[in-house]
């Protein structure tokens, strides 16, 4: 199977998601000493991760911008009160329901990641259950493996994002899935501004920021370090410092030979 990296709408190889999950990853996949069938499965998984994360990014960006804009407006203009009624003019971030689509694409990216890791661990994972991926990786690679340590460190936010998606798909809380800005006057006359939140109290802005960063970084890291298990003995991964990455294709990892760190 041959994969083509084409510009997706307004997204090309200059997008870190595209560069890091496909352009850079395919070179890493190619050097791994695994069967061609397993390589093709991992390539397909990486390609799908890229597609889903690009879609998630396109959804998250405008939501985060809208929330920040409202926060900035409140900071500059203060709380607006209608007179003489005293009613509070509560601003709206708008489009918060689109977080459901962000979570859908995020879960699909994680499902693809589990599929790719399954090819490396020779195990078929039914869905993005990274506790099971962790258990299998620890069994096969041992507790000191880089990918195993990353899987251990990231269990909390992975569970959080799956819990949010599960509530979206199968509501059980009895609460609204998202809540917009809320402003309440306190007993001391001051106003308390509550930013947009998910049903469980998680702030939407911080969640989108963290999940957007973690989904890309986690996917790239455990896949790259998982593949490194199968490198020829003289080959290893090197990370390109962020300020030295090519803006036209900001790949994060490169291959090198063991010994002195090669010059970028």
Mind listing the pLDDT tens digit for each residue in 94-112?
A: 899 999 999 999 999 999 9
- pLDDT of 147 reads 97
- pLDDT of 129 reads 92
| CB of 226 closer than 8 Å to CB of 148 | no
What distance in Å separates the CA atoms of residue 165 and residue 154, rounded to the nearest whole number? 17
User: 95 in a domain, yes or no?
Assistant: yes
Mark out the alpha helices in 170-252 (DSSP H runs).
204-228
Percent of the chain with pLDDT strictly greater than 90: 85
Residue 61: partners with Cβ closer than 8 Å, 6 or more residues away = none
- pLDDT of 240 reads 94
pLDDT greater than 80 at residue 262: no
**Beta-bridge partner residues of 182:** 194
Its domain, for residue 62, covers 16-257
pLDDT greater than 80 at residue 158: yes
Specify the 3-state DSSP secondary structure of 256: strand
- pLDDT of 263 reads 53
- pLDDT of 8 reads 47
User: 35 in a domain, yes or no?
Assistant: yes
pLDDT greater than 70 at residue 260: no
User: 8 in a domain, yes or no?
Assistant: no
Between 142 and 5, residue with greater pLDDT? 142
**Beta-bridge partner residues of 114:** none
Q: Minimum mean pLDDT among 9-13, 39-43, 154-158, 225-229: which range?
A: 9-13
What does the pLDDT look like over 179-224, one tens digit per residue? Answer: 999 999 899 988 999 999 999 999 999 999 999 999 999 999 999 9
Q: Which of 128, 135, 212 is nearest to 169 (CA)?
A: 128
User: 1 in a domain, yes or no?
Assistant: no
What does the pLDDT look like over 1-18, one tens digit per residue? Answer: 555 555 545 668 899 999
For 139-155, what is the mean pLDDT? Answer: 96
Q: Which of 80, 2, 84 is nearest to 36 (CA)?
A: 2
* Strand pairing class (88-89; 253-257): unpaired
User: 227 in a domain, yes or no?
Assistant: yes
- pLDDT of 41 reads 97
Residue 227: partners with Cβ closer than 8 Å, 6 or more residues away = 28, 29, 32, 42, 120
- pLDDT of 13 reads 86
User: 3 in a domain, yes or no?
Assistant: no
Report cis status (omega within 30 of 0) of the bond before 125: no
User: 41 in a domain, yes or no?
Assistant: yes
Q: Which of 64, 65, 62 is nearest to 206 (CA)?
A: 64
What does the pLDDT look like over 235-257, one tens digit per residue? Answer: 999 999 999 999 999 999 999 98
Give the total residue count for the chain: 264
| CB of 53 closer than 8 Å to CB of 216 | yes
Mean of the per-residue pLDDT values of the chain: 92
What distance in Å separates the CA atoms of residue 146 and residue 34, rounded to the nearest whole number? 19
* Strand pairing class (235-239; 182-185): unpaired
Q: Which of 202, 178, 220, 166 is nearest to 22 (CA)?
A: 220
What distance in Å separates the CA atoms of residue 100 and residue 177, rounded to the nearest whole number? 9
- pLDDT of 86 reads 79
Q: How many separate domains does the chain show?
A: 1
Please give the helix or strand (H or E) that residue 243 lies within, else none.
none
Q: How confident is the model at residue 258 (pLDDT cuts 50, 70, 90)?
A: confident
User: 146 in a domain, yes or no?
Assistant: yes
Q: How far apart are the first and last CA of the chain?
A: 31
Percent of the chain with pLDDT strictly greater than 70: 94
For 170-185, what is the mean pLDDT? Answer: 95
Chain-centre distance for alpha carbon 241: 20
- pLDDT of 54 reads 96
């Amino acid at each position: 199977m041959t994969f083509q990296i084409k510009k997706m709408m307004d997204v090309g190889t200059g997008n870190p998601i595209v560069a890091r999950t496909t352009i850079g990853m395919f070179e890493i996949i190619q050097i791994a000493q695994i069967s061609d069938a397993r390589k093709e499965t991992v390539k397909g998984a990486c390609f799908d991760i890229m597609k889903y994360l690009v879609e998630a990014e396109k959804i998250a960006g405008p939501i985060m911008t809208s929330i920040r804009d409202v926060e900035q407006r409140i900071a500059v203009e203060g709380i607006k009160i209608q007179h003489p009624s005293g009613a509070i003019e509560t601003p709206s971030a708008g489009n918060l329901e689109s977080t459901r689509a962000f979570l859908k694409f995020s879960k699909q990216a994680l499902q693809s990641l589990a599929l790719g890791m399954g090819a490396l661990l020779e195990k078929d994972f039914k869905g993005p259950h990274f506790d099971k991926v962790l258990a299998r990786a620890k069994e096969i690679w041992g507790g000191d493996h880089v990918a195993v340590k990353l899987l251990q460190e990231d269990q909390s936010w992975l569970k959080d994002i799956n819990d949010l998606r599960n509530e979206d798909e199968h509501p059980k809380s009895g609460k609204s899935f998202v809540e917009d800005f809320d402003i309440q006057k306190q007993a001391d006359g001051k106003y308390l501004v509550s930013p947009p939140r998910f049903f469980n109290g998680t702030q939407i802005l911080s969640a989108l920021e963290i999940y957007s960063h973690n989904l890309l970084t986690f996917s790239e890291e455990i896949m790259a370090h998982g593949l490194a298990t199968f490198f020829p003995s003289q080959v290893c991964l090197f990370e390109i410092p962020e300020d030295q990455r090519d803006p036209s294709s900001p790949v994060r990892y490169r291959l090198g030979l063991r010994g002195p760190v090669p010059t970028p």
